[in-house]
Amino acid sequence: MTHKKKYTLAQLAELLDAKLTGDGQCEITGLATLQNAKSGQLSFLSNPSYAGQLKSCQASAILIDEKFLDSCPGYKLVTSSPYVAFAKATQLFDNSPIPPKGIHDSASVDTSAVLGKNVSIGPNAVIAANVSLGDDVVIAAGCYVGESVSLGNACKLHGNVTIYHRVVLGNNVEVHSGSVIGADGFGFAFDGRQSVKIHQLGGVKIGDNVEIGAGTTIDRGALEDTEIGNGVKIDNQVQIGHNCKIGEHSIICGCTGIAGSVTIGKYCIMGGGSGVVGHVTIADKVQVSAMSLVSQSIPEPGMYSTGTIQSKTSVWKRNAIRFQQLDSIAKRLKEIENSTDKK
């Protein structure tokens, strides 16, 4: 079963908080790009680089900023934030399957579990003892929800998600396939001969309106909980170590690796493939560029980068040799400066 929806432009104007220019009774049945839109579809312009496509666009209407009105001949939904309005429109036209309510015959649900209203539990899912599921929770096929886990209202676990014991998810949390929440943090003490495991006695606490991408892992805390704040968005294949604290509305892009006991502030952005060493603190509103390594705390907002810029391999190799010579060059320069000062 899937969503089947259509809206008039008048309805969309109200739902998207936009000003309508055109026929309010015109029906919209879907969304499309400026280049590929057809009659009956809604498109949008957020990047000025695509403004040249407005005149040839065949969409029935376009979400657009007022400054581009003269370049757009058709019906318009005018808003100061077309991309945000587009994001809201995708929710209205969501076409993902609607899971059936109830518990599949092949699912295993412990008798001590407490289930809210309109819960959907898919094939071969396992719900362990003392689990609490809020209203409208969706547990897809093959998921495992461990002992004493709590899921708030409208949480959604896609196929084959694993939630270890004593993990708490707030309301409206979506976890994509293959993710693991609450596995042991990477903690060992070396006794001189071998590594002795530090058992992870904390849990994971995730706030409201969080989305977690496919194949992501969030480790449980050693003593206290690992914490993910409200509104955080985490991309695919991200590693978050034990006892990390991620501030509200931060964004963690794909393949980022965050070591244990890192604190990241609110409204931060960690670029794709970036990394953070353990036990550092990152202030609110920090943006770390892709493939950068944060090796020390960042106390002030702003954009931070590490590494070298892209160049031809032959040039990069020469520069790499120069990097190795910087210390000796600095020493020689200091000697020259000292001798010059004496003169």
Sign of CA dihedral 214, 220, 225, 226: negative
The Cα-based distances of 278 to 183, 186, 189, 198 in angstroms read: 18, 11, 16, 16
Distance CA 99, CA 134 (A): 16
The Cα-based distances of 128 to 41, 112, 123, 225 in angstroms read: 45, 8, 15, 21
Backbone phi, then psi, for 233, in 5-degree steps? Answer: -120, 120
- 102-103/75-78 β-pairing: unpaired
Distance of CA 88 to the CA centre of its chain: 17
Q: Which of 176, 242, 249, 279 is catalytic?
A: 242
Task: Tell me whether residue 242 is one of the annotated catalytic residues.
Answer: yes
Which residues are catalytically annotated?
242
